[in-house]
Structures are given as C-alpha cells and as structure tokens.
Structure 1
C-alpha cells in the first residue's frame, strides 16, 4: 500500500509535466503561425510599396513635389534618391523572405524533431512556401499597387522612412559594391547609348547620301521620348491671350492679326487662365455688338506641368481630343503653352502655314560651323539647328532655356557686346546686348576633330 500511495504523486507529476510540455509546444506552434502570417504581410507590403513608388507617373510625382500634404512630400523626398530607396526595399523584402524560410525550418524541427525529413515533405513544403512568397508576397501586392499606386505610396512612405534606420547600414555597403562594379565593369549608360545611336544614324545616312531633312526626322524620333514640355513650349512672354474684360469688337482685329485658331483667355493676368477660345465657335457671332457675352464660348483649359514628357502629352492630346495645353510651373503659375503642332514638329520639322512668321526662330548661318542666334531662341531649337546633343548644356544652364539665359549662366552676369566665352566645343561672342538682356549671340561650333586637336 505504501508503494502504491507513494507512486500516485509521481504519476501525477509526470502527467502534469507532459501536459505542460504539450501546452508549451502548442504555444510555440501558434506563435510560429502568427509570426509567419505577419512576415507574409510585411513581404506583401514591401513588394507593393516597391511597385507603387517606381510606377508613379510624371504627373503624380509633380503633384507630390508641389503638395502640402506631409505624406506626399515624404513620397517626393524618398524618390529624390531612388537608388537608395530601391536598395532599402530590397534589403527589407529579402530579409523578410529569409526569415520566412528560417521559420519554416524551425516549424519542421518542432514537428519532426531530430529525425530526418522524408523527401516528399521537403519538396511539398518548399513548393508551398514558394507559392506563398511569390503569389501572396509578390504578385498580388504588385498587381494591386498598379491600380492605386499613389495611395499606396502615401501610406507606406512613413513605414519605409522609419525602417531606413535599420536597413541603411547594409544598404550602404551594397550600394558601394554595386557602384564599384558599375564604374569598373558595366557598359556605358543610357545617355551614351543615345549619343552612339545619333552617331550611327549620321554615319548610315551620310553613306546613303540622305538629305539633312531625313537625318533631322530620325534624330527627332530618337529624342522624342526624352524631350520635356518646358524645352519646346512657347514662353509666357511670347503668349498671345485675351482678357475676359475685352469686348467682341476689340477681339476681332487681334484675331485677324494673330491668325490663331485657339487663343487662351485670362482674368487679371496670364497666371489665371480661364479657358481657351476656339475661333470657329466665334464665327456665327461676328455680327454681334459690344454687349455680346463671348466669354460663354470659352472651353476649359488643359494644364500640364513643365516636367512632363512630350510623348506622354501627345498621348493625353489624343485621349482628351484637345490640341492646346497651358504649361504651369511647380507653383501653379503659367510658364507658357504648347500645341499638338509643336509636338509633331519635333519629328517632322517646322510646319509653316500662311499665318506663321518665318522669324519665330531668328538665326543666320555664316558658314558650316558659325551661326548668329537671337537671344530668345530656345536651347532646344539651337541644338536642333546645330545638331548638337540636347543635353550639351545641362551642367551649366541651370533653369535657363534660351541662348540669352545660357549667356547669363556662363558669365554669371549680363555680358556686354563683344565679350567672348567658351564651353566645350562651343565658342560664344555676344553680338548685341543692353543693360537688361542679351539680344544676339554669334556661336562657332567646333568639330570634334578640331576640339581634339586643340586639346592636344
């Protein structure tokens, strides 16, 4: 009896220990499942954030740049260093995926202990984990992010900024390694490829005895996707527009003088464009007097940012069935206007009708390499005429987009007539200037061979 009585507490203790082990094991299983679920959600979040940030359109980025919302300002701030942002996201996402794999191995160890796992279990588990990571952690969030990219970018921006402190040490090392490899072993980048393509086109067309017009059209096709609205727009100072306070008799002489089919209409100043007046809408009312309310005929304006690519704007024109856009800067002020004809001219060259002035781009060519340009000529037009790369002056021009503005940037002041300066293979002589602006500049474009001989 004594041995039986003494055995009861021992059996009870063993049973209680087994129950406690079972409870702890259940807690471990539950904790592992919850942790795996959270890691999968984090993987989906980072994948969606990556797709959202790097699929934002030019318009959405411009909106974030001028926005007063903290989340959109943070989105724009993160995109100022896209390489760092992408590296941090990839470090975070891959760290989460590795953690999921380690968690899967830990659960397998809990279930099977130290015993060897059957091959079918290993293959089945690997396929299941791969499906969860790829489908739930990559495909679904990226597909969803394409539909609501700006909203997702706004929501995930604080999360990414907070986690940068954790991922930054490793991302710096990875960026340094990739930078070294790119610098020493990778091929030249996109800008050089464009220049090489231009050179190849020139060589091919020269060999085929093609006309300069054909070469100009092909160069326009090559550059079409990289030209921004600001580079080819008609500046605000050269815009013709009607005030809403004008009467119909006052409009008619200007319509005849300008010869435009569409004219912007403003209140107070051209910073407040109210709409576009289509002259064809006015034709049935030419007999009306001063009291005629012609303002009811204006159509809503189409605003675009300076930074938009003309290839995107061309698509917008086709979708919205409009032919004119009002260009605004980051502060919402009017910078100029752009028409469908301006975009088409970037490929086919100037299209002049009976109302166009031949002196829109004022220049004369003295010899093969020497030109005289009006100061208000845009740098984009200058590069087209001289067949120079469109990015030839990007490092020095700043915000200036005209030949006169380039002179101000190179001299750091308003130069006097007769002063000279050089940049690369371009040699500038100020032909005419006053105390306010540069009026006319003579430009000699040295050939690459001449530049090489001079450097040697």
Structure 2
C-alpha cells in the first residue's frame, strides 16, 4: 500500500470519527430530556456554562453541529472515493453511503444513548469552541437564512423577554395585572395545581347531571384518562360535560387536548405555547415523566 493510500485511510477513519461525534453531539444536546439537562445546569453552574450558552441559541447550535457533520461526510466521500477507484461509481457510492449511515449516524445515536447525558458537558465544550470559531458564518446562516422562515410570534430572545417583563412591571398600575406579570418568569411547577388536587375521571365513566353538578374542580376543568391515570388524554369544562349528556356516545368530542410540559418550563413560554396551539390546559411532568400537576 502506497503512502498516499495509507494517508487516505487515516483521513477516512478520522472523518468517520468526526461524523460520529457530530451525530452524538446532536443526541446529547437535543434528544436527551431537557428537564435533566436543566437540572444538570443548576447542579454545577461552572461546568455547565458552555451547555447553557449552546441551549440558549439552539438554532445556531444545531447549525454548528450540522456543519460539522456535513464537513466530515464530505471528506469521507472524497477520501473513500479515491480509495475505491477500482470499483464502479454505483458500487462505491453505495459503500460510502452505508459507511456514513451506519458508522456516522446509526451507531453513535443508538449506541451512545445510554452515555449521552454523562458526556453532554464534555461534548458542549467542544461544540461551543467550534461554534466560537465559526461564529460569523453560523450567525449569518441563522439570522439571514433560517430566522426569516420562523414565525415571528414564536421568536423572542431570553434578554428581550426579561426586558419586556421589566417594562410591564414598571408601567402597569393594576395590582392584579402586576401580580400576573410577576409570575411570567416563574417555572410552571411554582404555580401548578398538584395532581392530587385535580379531578381525574375515566373516559368510559357514565356520568349523570347530578354527578357532574357535584364536581367542584380546582381549575374549572376535569382531566380524563384511559385505562390508567398516567394516560391522560384530555380535559373538559363542566359546562361541556353537561352538554355531553345530550349525546353521551360522543363524550370524546367535548374533550380538549392538553399540553404536556416539563416542570421547569417558564410561564411566559407556556402562555406562548397556549396561544400558538389554542389550548388552555397543560399537564406538568417531572424529570422521570411522572405527572405531578
């Protein structure tokens, strides 16, 4: 084997490792439970500062990871094509594609899932460094190419949100409205109604007018589940439940969907989600996926 071929083999191996790294980075930063990442950041603020910065601008972070992936996959294609010159172009393309798919995508994501949470702080340092190096390019792609396609009502930076809340606090005289504004930056767990205080009913329960009138839900809604109380399928107002008695077979038509949110979600962000999805009730889950409110 010639020196040039050995060099191409080394470049191919390193590029496959780089492609696997980018896939594992995507897994660690975007697929691992966000509640767990939040708890990790609050537990060790010094070590998690890079992770926090990356998650604050998730679009730019994703662009960085995809750029790394594209770069290494391009190098893999070029180097392996040079090594497989003896094969016809179709066969060499198939081999290269399967190499990238198996070693660069599937194995890092499936095999690395169990260690993604433990490695996320280390991964975040490397990705943050690359992001810093290519900052002008990544920022340009984010602001000039990606952002125009994002709905304006859904985009507001953390700094802008804090400024907006502060301005509202200073300029609002209505005591009730002022109190409401003060909770916008709270976590949902701070104001949620505990699940033990919420009325839960089986979707297959046959209700009477008397039974419905006796219900005094804390939040004005009744949550419905099917088979198990952990399987909440929606919520309904008391008035709509009374209407359902006229057509009991279609009770499901009077039940509205609910949003499942982590306990660390901010109230402001929840209200934005309520507005965009046109829903009124959210179910809060803890880091283990248990329903808590």
- Give TM-score, length-normalised by structure 1: 0.35
Counterpart mapping for 1:374-393 below 5 A: 391=271
Q: Does 1:129 align with 2:96?
A: yes
Decide whether aligned partners of structure 1 residues 342 and 145 sit closer, same or farther in structure 2, where only a CA change above 3 A counts: farther
Using the alignment, how far apart are the partners of 1:26 and 1:159 within structure 2? Answer: 34
Using the alignment, how far apart are the partners of 1:73 and 1:86 within structure 2? Answer: 17
Which of 56, 69, 79 is the matching residue for 1:80? 56
Alignment partner, residue 189 of structure 2? 229
Decide whether aligned partners of structure 1 residues 163 and 390 sit closer, same or farther in structure 2, where only a CA change above 3 A counts: closer
Counterpart mapping for 1:188-203 below 5 A: none
Which of 114, 119, 139 is the matching residue for 1:172? 139
Q: Does 1:45 align with 2:12?
A: no
Using the alignment, how far apart are the partners of 1:153 and 1:343 within structure 2? Answer: 39
Alignment partner, residue 44 of structure 2? 68
Alignment partner, residue 160 of structure 1? 127
Runs of 4+ in 1 over 4 A off after TM superposition: 186-190, 343-347
Superposed CA offset, 1:102-122 (max 9, x none)? 2223335xx56xxxxxxx621
Asked which structure has the greater RCO (Cα within 8 Å, sep 6+), the reply is 2
Unpaired segments of 5 or more residues in structure 2?
Answer: 156-186, 201-217, 224-268, 275-293
Which of 337, 341, 353 is the matching residue for 2:197? 341
User: Could you tell me whether the CA contact under 8 Å between 1:65 and 1:73 is conserved in 2?
Assistant: yes
Decide whether aligned partners of structure 1 residues 177 and 69 sit closer, same or farther in structure 2, where only a CA change above 3 A counts: closer
Q: CA deviation at 1:69?
A: 6.0
Q: CA deviation at 1:51?
A: 1.1
Q: CA deviation at 1:61?
A: 2.2
Q: CA deviation at 1:189?
A: 5.7
Q: Which structure is larger by alpha-carbon Rg, 1 or 2?
A: 1
Using the alignment, how far apart are the partners of 2:12 and 2:47 within structure 1? Answer: 29
Which of 72, 80, 105 is the matching residue for 2:81? 105
- Give TM-score, length-normalised by structure 2: 0.53
User: Could you tell me whether the CA contact under 8 Å between 2:51 and 2:124 is conserved in 1?
Assistant: yes
Q: CA deviation at 1:188?
A: 7.3
Decide whether aligned partners of structure 1 residues 98 and 228 sit closer, same or farther in structure 2, where only a CA change above 3 A counts: same
Q: CA deviation at 1:180?
A: 5.1
Using the alignment, how far apart are the partners of 1:343 and 1:176 within structure 2? Answer: 46
Unpaired segments of 5 or more residues in structure 1?
Answer: 1-24, 113-119, 191-226, 234-337, 350-388, 395-456
Q: Greater share of helix residues, 1 or 2?
A: 2
Which of 3, 26, 30 is the matching residue for 1:54? 30
For the aligned residues, what is the CA RMSD?
A: 3.1
Secondary structure of the residue that 1:34 maps to in structure 2? helix
User: Could you tell me whether the CA contact under 8 Å between 2:48 and 2:121 is conserved in 1?
Assistant: yes
